[in-house]
Structures are given as structure tokens and as C-alpha cells.
Chains A and B, each alone.
With several copies, the nearest count.
Chain A
Amino acid sequence: MAFLASVNVMLKEGIADPQGQTIERALPALGFSGVEEVRVGKRIRLLVDASDEHDARRQVEDMCERLLANPVIESYEVIVES
């Protein structure tokens, strides 16, 4: 049975995020004031074949650990829809 999973991969707290900082610096010039703490990460969507939702989550978390995220600098969260 196929489950649709989404993974959000973001840089860990405290790790510098030049992308976010650059966007943040640019926004006021575009007329957006009052925007803070911009962080840029990755969003990954995939279809995973699993016996049940729990199994799907387990598989995707495993993928994150081994491939999708870089545990040294990134943290991730997994969302599974059925």
C-alpha cells in the first residue's frame, strides 16, 4: 500500500544559514518589513510502499538518517499521509 510522505529538512538551530540571512536582508527593499529569522531548508515528497502508516514513517525516517538529511548539520521532520 502506497503512502504519501513529506520530509522537511532544516539546518539545526545555531548553524549559520547564509541563504536565510541573505533573503532576510533583501526583503525590506521589496517592501516587506518586520520579517525575521528566515531559514531555508529542503522539502522532499515521495510515495513509499508500506504495510501501514507506522511502517511508512519508520522507512522514511530511516531514509532521512541515511540519505535525505545530513545529520551533522540538519534536523528533519516526517509527515505521513495515507
Chain B
Amino acid sequence: MTTATSLHRDLGLTDDEFQQICDHLGREPSYTELAMFSVMWSEHCSYKSSRGHLKTLPTEGPHILVGPGEGAGIIEVAPGVAVAWKAESHNHPSFVEPFNGAATGVGGIVRDILSMGARPIALMDPLRFGTLDDARTRYLVDGVVHGISSYGNSIGVPTVGGEAIFEECYAENPLVNVACLGVIEDRLMHGRAEGPGNVAILIGSSTGRDGIGGASVLASAEFDETSAEKRPSVQVGDPFAEKLLIEACLELIARGVFVALQDLGAGGISCPTSEMTSKANTGMRVDIDRVHRREPGMEPFEVMISESQERMLAVVEPARVDEVLDVCRKWEIEANVVGEVTPSDRVEVVSDGEVVADVPADALAEEGPVYERHLERPGWIDRLQMEDPGDAAPDRLEDAFFAVLSSPNIASKRWIWEQYDHMIFLGTLQGPGGDAAVIRLPNSDVRVAITTDGPGRYCYLDPYEGARLAVAESARNVACVGARPLAVTNCLNFGNPEKPDVMWQFAEVIRGMGDACRSLVTPVTGGNVSFYNETKGRAIYPTPVIGMLGSIPEGVPARGLAFVSDNEPIVLLGRTDDNDLGGSEFAKTVHGVVAGRPPRLDIEAEARLIDLLVELRDLASSAHDPSAGGLAVALAEAAVVGGRGFKLGPRNGELHRWLFSESPSRALVTCRPDDVEEVLERADRNGVPAEVIGTTGGDVLGFAGCDIPLTSVTEVYEGALVETLSSSID
């Protein structure tokens, strides 16, 4: 074997890690082995900085069939009905090449879901960009949305929701997260290469030099000018190949052919060969000459770490190999036997009859380095929290209202979601535009609600509180559509973990997320960590994106955020704190300030509100939670989408505080006039403050003392984003 010293640094391994590798092997690694370790021990694949903290998260509950550690979490949403739910990030690749970066991000999360044996049935795309006055950002937005649209639409999976948030801090580190929901059609798959003598079949696209060190290296090294050199390693997505891969695998899963199945993502074929064997205490002999290639003259190490898209590795009993190859032929997709499960605990790689790698599977998959990174509460955060939160009264309330409403963070995201097929499968009972999407599972009446939320601003001001607020809002959003929050997936986007303040933010977010999930009994079933979202030393806001999944009993009428008929009482549930303007959209857009403390959360009050919202399924004709933009925006959205105005009763105190405060644990509900007493009574029984603040109807938004015509509000809400983006270039 040709060995390689010092090279390890170029591959992102520290001298110390290199020593550990030598210790594992009892010798210096070969070139191929070094490459395999470099991808498997990268931050992206090994979670070496985050593992210790992630362990503290609650992961178990009555509905959780599979927790973290597999391709996706598995949740039982109704007796005998299980779904897969998982989020991933594709931030760096999307910055380098927005269209393909986002497209391959979708492809990756879909294969995660598929690896569990589930059919992917819905996608969500939480996005973060810089501000739209920058042409490069507009180009990124256009490319990312087009990439998600082109990939998701052609594999026939609806994109039913997401987020689009624009802040300076994301200008050079846009966040492209994607979450996917799947349903187990036949049987749950596991990534365990049981049974020595079984064979490994590589299914899908041919292997090229795509992303040699792509995701791993890209996602594990801070950006700087030299990143240009990494560009040729951009991976191009092939949605058609993915579609064939999905159908072929699902047919084979239904036939019960697979012993084990895993996707190839970051780390290429090194990942499933080591992880599947490590889990099963087996080994694998891989003959890489049998890996179908797209390019001639590839080195063994290139084949082992290539991140060519649309590939899966299946473990199959020898007797059923032909069946697998036949089904793949029918779906016009390539498949080859590339290895065999061995009783050893090692991954052996053979090329031209020569052993080019021979590594303990555990060393690659399980025994990577774990770092207790130094963390420290930064001094700047105390100063920041002391600063004026920007809650002073605006000159004119109406101007402030329109300023907030036309902020791209608030205005309708129709321009984005109309580019996504959000209807296929005839299951989207509620698509983009609501608090959460409601999906009816195929061939059944079981309904689940999904949403994603990640208030980076709050987390910047106070990572612990911000994370709790993120969990609370996501749970509230699914409760608004009548669902009981069940489980959480997440995507944790942070700066450089080698910096003590970033690591402190991370630890605080984990602590906050864990506490909130414990209180709301919504275990964390998995997720993804993306570090090094930092350019030239400038880190993004700590941005944990929470993906909440909830279930709705059969036969419950779909409930949206829109005012559905005139003369209905508008009930505000929950307490409004006039001082909850820190980090608010009002403070940012009207005063240009992001400072102070985020809104205060009483998680018990949140839990009571959620119970009430679920209980009000039969009575409430609409429900919507005031979040970014506060009551003013929530009321406006309900009016615009419902096509009818409202009139509020008079109020004393500073109106702008009441209207724009972003206090959590609140919701607006409407109901038939005869039901209002019952609604208030139930609120009282649940210990939730409730107050009738107005009635629906008319063609004006009647904020106490300030009437605004619905038509102009609609124009601004629907038009603002399109306007700012229209200068965007394809």
C-alpha cells in the first residue's frame, strides 16, 4: 500500500487525528484509507464537536419508533401508521452554486427518508439569505428556489412549506435547509449489514469525480477566497435518476428483498460500507472495480469518497440478487454487486486484486474523535441585552404597519411557493401560506401537520431563550391547524465551533431546545448540525431550525388562518407583554435595531395554549398565532387571505406595543357568535387568558383608531416580495 504522511493536513485532519488513525491501524494509513478517514472524521460526518451536547436532548417517547442515529426519525402518528421526518442542511454548496446546491440538498434528504423504507411525500425548505438590496443575494434566492423547484417537482414530492428570512448576517452564508416527511408503506428498513455472505449492491447513478471531498470538506472548512478552487467539485443533481431510484427501491422494499439499505451522501460509499457494518458488528469486502463509473482513470480513493448523487447501497441475500437486478433494469437504473458482508469487523477495499484499504469499521463510523470544545459566554452579549431594544413609538402607526408588512420577512412568500408543486399526492389539505401544512397520508385519512421555525434574531440576543421560543412557536404552529405536537427534527446552523462564543451559543441552544422539548413532550428524533457558517470571521446568527410534526385525528375539519365569514368574534388567547419588542420585526424595520432581550416565554403557559387550540378543533373557524410582526401582522394575514376586514374595539396604552409585540403563547381564533361563550369558558378551564378584541367583516382593517383599506393591505402583502425580487436575474 502506498502510504501518505503530512497529506492529512490538506485533507482537513489534524496531526493528532492522524496519530489516532495510525493507532487504530497499527501503521500509517494508505492513501485510500486516509481519504476515507478524512471524510468520515469530518465535522459533517462525525459530529465531533456536537456529539457530546446532542446526547443531552430528550429522544424517547411513546410515539417514537426510531430516534436519532438512523437515516431519519420514525414516529407513529396513528395506530399502525408510521412516518419518517428529518431535516438536512446544504448551506455551503448552495452558496457556491445555488441551483445545484439546493437541488442536491433536496435529493439528499429524500434519500435519507428512502433509506428508512419510507416513501417521501412532503418537503419543506427553511431558507435564510442576506438582504435583497444585494444583487448577488437576489441571484442566490432565484437559483436556490429554482433548484428546489426543479428537483422536488420532477421527483414528484410536494414542497408544502418552509421559511424565507432575510438578514445581513446570512449575506455570505445563506442557509438552505430542507426537511422531508415520508410514510412507511410496507416495512421499516434499518442500515445494518447483517449476515456474512450477503452481498452489497450499489444502485443508481454512475460514480464520477463529483464533490471529491465535496460536502465533507466544503462543509467542514471555513469559507475564504480560496474556496473558489473548490468550485469544480460542484455536484449536479439528476432528479430523473432520483425518481427511478425511489420507485425501484420502494418496489424492492415491498418485495422484502433488502436486508439493509443506506443512502450515499457526504462521505460517498465509505459511509454506508462502514456504518452499516459497524452497526451489525460485521465487515465488508468492497471490490471497487465493480463500481460503475462515469469517468475513466479514477483513483481508488476517488471512488471511495466520491459524492456522486442518486446512489443507494443495499445488502441482499445472494439468492435474491437477480431479483434486484431485474427490478432495477425495469426502472432503467444501473445496479451492480460491489461487495460482500464478511464476519470480520473490517472494511476491506480491493482494486485490481490489490487491497488498497483495510480498516476497522468502528474506527471509521463510531470511534472518530470527539471534542469537548472550549466554550465561554461572550461579554458582548451582556452589552447587547442592555441596549435599547428599539421599542419607541413610531411617528405614524400606519407607516410603521406598512413598513413591517412589506418587509420580505413578513410579506407573502407566494413568489417562492408557487414555483413548487405543493399539491401532488392529493394530500395537501393545507399548503404553503398557513401556520403549518396539513398532509393527508396517501390512501388513508390520517393527517399530519408539519412546520419549521428558526428565529435567528432571538437566538442571537439569547441563544437559550431563542431556542425555547423556536420550539414553542413550531409547536404552536401545528396546534393552530388543530394538530397535537408529537416530535421534533432540527437543523442547527452555527459559526465556527472552534470559537468559544460560537460553542457557547451552540451549548445554550441545545440546552434551550432540550428543556422546551421536555416540557412540551416532543422528543427530538434526529436532525443535522452545520458548523462553519462563517465568512472572513463573520458568523451567522445562531440559527436552530425546528421541524415540528403533529398529528390530527381523522375527520377533523381543516382549519386555516383566514377569517372565513363576517361578523365573527375575534378572540385573542394568551397574554400580551407590551415589552416583548426585543428582536422584533418592528424594532428591525422601523428603528433598524436588533438588541435587548427576546420575548419572555412561559413554557407552561405555552403548553396550556396548545392544549386549548387542540381542544378548540370543533369550535374555532380559524386560528393563527401572532409571531414575527405581532398581532398587527397576524390580523392582516387573516384578513388578506380571508378576503374580509375586521374591526377592533378601542384600546388604551401605547397601541404600537400591543400591535407589534411578539409575545409567544398567543393565538387569534374566530368562531360563530353563539360559540364565543363556550370558547371563553374552555379557555378559562385551560387557564388561558382570553379576550374578544373585535369582529370580522368589512373592507377595512379597523385597528382601534386607525382604519386601513383591505385592498391596499392586500396589494402590499402579496406584492412586496415580488417587487424586491423582480430585478432578479435568471
Contact string, A7-51, partner B, CB cutoff 8 A, digits 1/0? 000011011111101100110010000000000000000000000
Complex CA gap A67/B142 in Å reads 14
- Take A12-B232, A72-B231, A73-B97 as given contacts and tell me if A18 and B241 are in contact as well, using a CB distance cutoff of 8 Å: yes
Complex CA gap A21/B241 in Å reads 11
Which residues of A have CB within 8 Å of B208? 14, 16
- Take A14-B209, A16-B208 as given contacts and tell me if A72 and B234 are in contact as well, using a CB distance cutoff of 8 Å: yes
Cβ B308 vs Cβ A22 within 8 A: no
Which residues of B have CB within 8 Å of A19? 730
Cβ A18 vs Cβ B240 within 8 A: yes
Complex CA gap A22/B210 in Å reads 18
- Take A15-B236, A18-B236 as given contacts and tell me if A26 and B100 are in contact as well, using a CB distance cutoff of 8 Å: no
In the assembled complex, B23 has its CB within 8 A of some CB on chain A: no
Within 8 A of A (CB), among B195-249: 205, 208-210, 231-232, 234-238, 240-241
Cβ B295 vs Cβ A15 within 8 A: no
Which residues of B have CB within 8 Å of A12? 232
Distance (Å) between the CB of A42 and the closest chain B CB? 12
Cβ B729 vs Cβ A70 within 8 A: no
Cβ B238 vs Cβ A70 within 8 A: no
Distance (Å) between the CB of A37 and the closest chain B CB? 11
Cβ B240 vs Cβ A17 within 8 A: no
Which residues of A have CB within 8 Å of B309? 16
Which residues of A have CB within 8 Å of B210? 16
In the assembled complex, B294 has its CB within 8 A of some CB on chain A: yes
Which residues of A have CB within 8 Å of B236? 11, 15-18, 73
Which residue on A lies nearest to B231, using beta carbons?
A: A72
Of B231, B238, B295, which contacts A18 at CB under 8 A?
B238
Which residues of A have CB within 8 Å of B100? 73
Cβ B238 vs Cβ A73 within 8 A: no
- Take A14-B232, A18-B238 as given contacts and tell me if A67 and B729 are in contact as well, using a CB distance cutoff of 8 Å: yes
Which residues of A have CB within 8 Å of B205? 16
Give the number of residue pairs across the A-B interface with Cβ within 8 Å.
44
Cβ B234 vs Cβ A15 within 8 A: yes
Cβ A70 vs Cβ B97 within 8 A: yes
Distance (Å) between the CB of A38 and the closest chain B CB? 13
In the assembled complex, B376 has its CB within 8 A of some CB on chain A: no
Cβ A16 vs Cβ B308 within 8 A: yes
Cβ B295 vs Cβ A26 within 8 A: no
In the assembled complex, B332 has its CB within 8 A of some CB on chain A: yes
Which residues of A have CB within 8 Å of B232? 12, 14-15
Complex CA gap A75/B159 in Å reads 32
In the assembled complex, B96 has its CB within 8 A of some CB on chain A: yes
Complex CA gap A31/B209 in Å reads 31
Cβ A73 vs Cβ B234 within 8 A: yes
Which residues of A have CB within 8 Å of B294? 16, 21
Complex CA gap A19/B237 in Å reads 11
Complex CA gap A11/B232 in Å reads 11
Distance (Å) between the CB of A27 and the closest chain B CB? 10
Which residue on B lies nearest to A12, using beta carbons?
A: B232
Complex CA gap A18/B240 in Å reads 9
Distance (Å) between the CB of B502 and the closest chain A CB? 28
Which residues of A have CB within 8 Å of B209? 14
Of A11, A14, A16, which contacts B238 at CB under 8 A?
A16
Complex CA gap A42/B656 in Å reads 54
Which residues of B have CB within 8 Å of A17? 236
Complex CA gap A11/B240 in Å reads 18
Number of interface residues of A (CB under 8 A): 17
Which residues of B have CB within 8 Å of A29? 727
Cβ A72 vs Cβ B97 within 8 A: yes
Distance (Å) between the CB of B723 and the closest chain A CB? 16
Cβ B235 vs Cβ A16 within 8 A: yes
Complex CA gap A15/B96 in Å reads 14
Complex CA gap A7/B100 in Å reads 22
Which residues of B have CB within 8 Å of A18? 236-238, 240-241
Of A11, A16, A22, A73, which contacts B730 at CB under 8 A?
A22
Which residue on A lies nearest to B97, using beta carbons?
A: A72
Complex CA gap A22/B239 in Å reads 12
Distance (Å) between the CB of A23 and the closest chain B CB? 8
Complex CA gap A22/B238 in Å reads 10
- Take A14-B209, A16-B210, A16-B294 as given contacts and tell me if A26 and B729 are in contact as well, using a CB distance cutoff of 8 Å: yes
Which residues of B have CB within 8 Å of A11? 236
Which residue on A lies nearest to B212, using beta carbons?
A: A14
Complex CA gap A56/B308 in Å reads 33
Complex CA gap A21/B231 in Å reads 22
**Residue of A16, A17, A25 contacting most chain B CB atoms (<10 Å):** A16
Which residues of A have CB within 8 Å of B96? 72
Which residues of A have CB within 8 Å of B237? 18
Which residue on B lies nearest to A25, using beta carbons?
A: B332
Distance (Å) between the CB of A53 and the closest chain B CB? 27
Of B234, B235, B240, B295, which contacts A22 at CB under 8 A?
B240
Distance (Å) between the CB of B264 and the closest chain A CB? 14
Which residue on B lies nearest to A70, using beta carbons?
A: B97
Complex CA gap A21/B208 in Å reads 13
Of A14, A25, A67, A70, which contacts B295 at CB under 8 A?
A14
Which residues of B have CB within 8 Å of A25? 332
Which residue on A lies nearest to B728, using beta carbons?
A: A26
Distance (Å) between the CB of A28 and the closest chain B CB? 12
Complex CA gap A11/B236 in Å reads 10
Contact string, B290-305, partner A, CB cutoff 8 A, digits 1/0? 0000110000000000
Which residues of B have CB within 8 Å of A21? 238, 294
**Residue of A26, A67, A73 contacting most chain B CB atoms (<10 Å):** A73
Contact string, B688-730, partner A, CB cutoff 8 A, digits 1/0? 0000000000000000000000000000000000000001011
Which residues of A have CB within 8 Å of B240? 18, 22
Complex CA gap A29/B730 in Å reads 14
Which residues of B have CB within 8 Å of A72? 96-97, 231, 234
**Residue of B232, B294, B309, B729 contacting most chain A CB atoms (<10 Å):** B729
Complex CA gap A19/B730 in Å reads 9
Distance (Å) between the CB of B218 and the closest chain A CB? 13
**Residue of B96, B237, B730 contacting most chain A CB atoms (<10 Å):** B730
Which residues of A have CB within 8 Å of B234? 15, 72-73
Q: Please list 8 pairs of residues, one from A and one from B, whose beta carbons are closer than 8 Å in the complex, sorted by A's number.
A: A14-B232, A18-B238, A18-B241, A19-B730, A21-B238, A72-B96, A72-B97, A72-B234
Taking A15-B236, A21-B294, A67-B729 as given, write out 9 further A-B residue pairs in contact, using a Cβ cutoff of 8 Å, ordered by the A residue number. Answer: A14-B208, A18-B236, A18-B237, A19-B730, A21-B238, A26-B729, A72-B231, A72-B234, A73-B234
Of all A-B residue pairs in the complex, the 9 with the closest CB atoms, nearest first, are A18-B238, A16-B236, A72-B97, A26-B729, A72-B231, A73-B234, A14-B209, A22-B730, A16-B208
